[in-house]
Amino acid sequence: MRLPADHAYSVAMSVRKADSAHPPPRVTALPGRLPDLSDGACIDHPYLSENAWTGARASYRDRELARAVCGGCAVLSACREWGTGPVGGIVNGIIGGLSGSERRQIRRQRQVAR
């Protein structure tokens, strides 16, 4: 069987990546576990798409609406705690009713307080 030219190229690339001179990157465990947020109000929200929380180009209005939805969420405290933790601090978007910069500010204040 003859492989298409582009497939043969990708196989050659895979073999090169397995070369011991170029070991695969190390994958370290994420700090902390993701809490169970399956009851989150943002999941399958009837009026707002998930872009309001996570979209890099979400409008100011959509982000404020997302914050309002977070305010009435059943898992707000668990979500906010995760969002201000080591992993949540590097994720952009609205988490637990807080923007990325607000969560990073809280993390910095906690570190200063220690």
CB closer to ligand SF4 out of 10 and 59? 59
Q: Which residue has the tokens 């990708």?
A: 10
Buried b (16+ CB within 10 A) or exposed e, 89-99: beeebbbbbbb
CB closer to ligand SF4 out of 41 and 58? 41
Residue nearest to ligand SF4 (CB): 40
CB of 67 to ligand SF4, least distance (A): 8
Q: Which of 97, 39, 43 is nearest to 65 (CA)?
A: 97
- For residue 102 the two structure tokens come to 């607000």
SS3 state at 38: coil
Residues in contact with ligand SF4 by CB under 6 A are 37, 40-42, 53, 69-70, 73, 75-76, 79, 95-97
CB closer to ligand SF4 out of 8 and 34? 34
